[in-house]
Amino acid sequence: EPEVTQTPSHQVTQMGQEVILRCVPISNHLYFYWYRQILGQKVEFLVSFYNNEISEKSEIFDDQFSVERPDGSNFTLKIRSTKLEDSAMYFCASGQGFQETQYFGPGTRLLVL
Amino acid sequence: SQQGEEDPQALSIQEGENATMNCSYKTSINNLQWYRQNSGRGLVHLILIRSNEREKHSGRLRVTLDTSKKSSSLLITASRAADTASYFCVYSGAGSYQLTFGKGTKLSVIP
């Protein structure tokens, strides 16, 4: 069964450094998403991406964040200058249709020191 | 806030018993979904119920939806230790791409 994959599974970085989190969505999906979950808290939406552009973003998704689909298979989240409070589990998700099921990857645990 | 509220926040049952979790939400929806998460790991999709459906089954799972009360329930029958996880009801508001998560119900199934 096809699944969403994410790399790396864990990343440790120094405050102020740039990180890129990578995702490979399910191949025939058209809608792509990033969410995050700070330890012990609820899952929060960051951004959705459809038709090669951001379709919706939350207040969390400020100028430090960007997303890209550089080729036909990868979907990336870049954090330009990480802060301590960016430490969280970051989940990528993809779906076939608008407001249809979103399938989540296993997550990347980011720790900013 | 549009986030849903799951009830109870934690539930502990014996293996073989049924587990019922409830959810309330505050906005108009096209569908509602239930997800499971094991110990802060990945989110697994369980079931999607559309706003014109009242009940849906999938294996040992039964989901109900009452749009007039803006509530849903998830029933897991004949629970197993492997069902131990956090369960979330998740939905999108009208015209929105994002899924809104509540804090979830933490289910513990004791062997």
pLDDT tens digits, B6-27: 889 999 999 999 999 999 998 8
Q: Cα(B72)–Cα(B89) distance, rounded to whole angstroms?
A: 8
Query: How large is the average pLDDT for residues A16-32?
Result: 96
- Judge whether A90 is closer than 8 Å to chain B, CB to CB: no
CB contact under 8 A, A42 and B3: yes
* B96 interaction partners in chain A (CB closer than 8 Å): 56, 99
Q: Is pLDDT of A8 > 90? A: yes
- Judge whether A106 is closer than 8 Å to chain B, CB to CB: yes
* B45 interaction partners in chain A (CB closer than 8 Å): 101-104
Query: How large is the average pLDDT for residues A80-89?
Result: 96
The pLDDT value given to residue B1: 42
> Between B42, B44, B98, which is nearest A48 by CB?
B98
pLDDT digits (tens, 9 = 90+) for B64-79: 999 999 999 999 999 9
* A48 interaction partners in chain B (CB closer than 8 Å): 97-98
CB contact under 8 A, A43 and B48: no
Residue A40 binned pLDDT confidence (cut-offs 50, 70, 90) = confident
Q: Is pLDDT of A79 > 60? A: yes
The pLDDT value given to residue A34: 98
Q: Cα(A48)–Cα(A34) distance, rounded to whole angstroms?
A: 7
Q: Cα(A53)–Cα(B97) distance, rounded to whole angstroms?
A: 13
- Judge whether A104 is closer than 8 Å to chain B, CB to CB: yes
Q: How many helices (H) and strands (E) does chain A have?
A: 0, 11
Residue A72 · residue A52 · CB < 8 Å:
no
Separation in Å, CA of A76 to nearest CA in chain B? 18
Q: Cα(B31)–Cα(A2) distance, rounded to whole angstroms?
A: 23
pLDDT digits (tens, 9 = 90+) for B40-96: 678 999 999 999 999 999 999 999 999 999 999 999 999 999 999 999 999 988 888
Interface subset of A 22-81, CB within 8 angstroms of B: 31, 33, 35, 37, 39, 42-45, 48, 50, 55-56, 58
Residue A96 binned pLDDT confidence (cut-offs 50, 70, 90) = very high
The pLDDT value given to residue B4: 63
